[in-house]
Amino acid sequence: MMRTLMEKTITFLSWLMTLVLFSVVLFFIGYLLHKGLPVLGRSLVFGETDPMQAILGRARVFDGLFPAVMGTLYLVLLSTALALPIGISAGIYLAEYAPPAAGRRFGFFFDILAGIPSIVIGLFGFSVAVFLHKHFSGRISPCLLISALSLAFLVLPYIIRSTQVALESLPAPIRRTAPALGATRLQNLVYVLIPHALSNIVSGIILSIGRCAEDTAVIMLTGVVATAGIPSSLLSQYEALPFYIYYISGQYADQAELDKGYGACLILLGICAVLFILAGMVKKHLTHRALYKV
């Protein structure tokens, strides 16, 4: 009797918490839509500039979010591209090749890395930029590349750990199928283990994309500015949506300006959603291709 009551209570509380969380998320998105939708439009992104001219790079956008949108996209793609090969390789090493003791030590190290506040990583990136400026080239200063490297450093632990956990959690029957048929360790990894773990690995990558898109502390110290236009090179300063949101919410002169911040939030969420959907499509396509490849 007591046990049944306890079970029912726990079930109800779990259900209630899920409902509360779901409601909060719905309220949050609803609030953003309520505030942001009215200002969302061509002029918010392109200002007075012709959109086609701006997209083709023939005209600069001065009073719209287009440079910040492009800066965010560049930043996310660049930092993810930098972090992926290193993160996935390290995750594979930890899961499949590292001796247990080394695996534990490296795992602990990556957990510490994951816990470092992003502002500290931003400061480190800034210090690297100053060092390079002093000792290598006066052209190097806080820029898109330094930001992307810092962000890649920030998200590396997520990619490493998600790859490692995805591989380690594969059940024994899957692990031993190919070896029992004469597969080498590498063949087993490439043809069986990675394809089976791919779905969870990509989930980790999606989390990393979100983190790259939203982090403000790192980019504040490493190259983002309020007005820079679309970056012309990796060594250029740039604009980014999270910094715009941070800046406008602290410096707004009137309600209309603050509402533009909400519009920027919606655009940022939209960019993340598009990137998540793309990653999901890649995941589905890659998993299918990988599993049927051999």
Query: How many Cβ atoms from other residues are within 10 Å of residue 229's Cβ?
Result: 18
Distance in angstroms (rounded) separating the CA atoms of residues 193 and 96? 10
| Site pattern 191..230 for other proteins (x: CB under 8 A) | xx--------------------------------------
CB of 180 to other proteins, least distance (A): 4
Determine if 253 is a binding residue for other proteins (CB under 8 A): no
Which of 100, 115, 138, 250 lies at the binding interface for other proteins (CB under 8 A)? 100
DSSP symbol at 38: G
Q: Are 267 and 241 in contact (CB under 8 A)?
A: yes
Closest to other proteins by CB, 138 or 182: 182
Distance in angstroms (rounded) separating the CA atoms of residues 238 and 67? 8
Which of 3, 99, 115, 254 lies at the binding interface for other proteins (CB under 8 A)? 99
DSSP symbol at 127: H
CB of 98 to other proteins, least distance (A): 10
Q: Which of residues 161-180 bind other proteins (CB under 8 A)?
A: 173-174, 176-180
Determine if 181 is a binding residue for other proteins (CB under 8 A): yes
Q: What's the distance, Cα to Cα, between the start and end of the chain in Å?
A: 56
CB of 176 to other proteins, least distance (A): 6
Residues 6+ apart with CB under 8 A from 241: 65, 68, 69, 71, 72, 213, 264, 267, 268, 271
Q: Could you tell me which stretch among 35-43, 110-118, 181-189, 210-218 binds other proteins (CB under 8 A)?
A: 181-189
CB of 94 to other proteins, least distance (A): 13
Distance in angstroms (rounded) separating the CA atoms of residues 46 and 64? 5
Query: Which residues sit at the interface with other proteins, rule CB under 8 A?
Result: 99-100, 173-174, 176-185, 187, 191-192, 291-292, 294
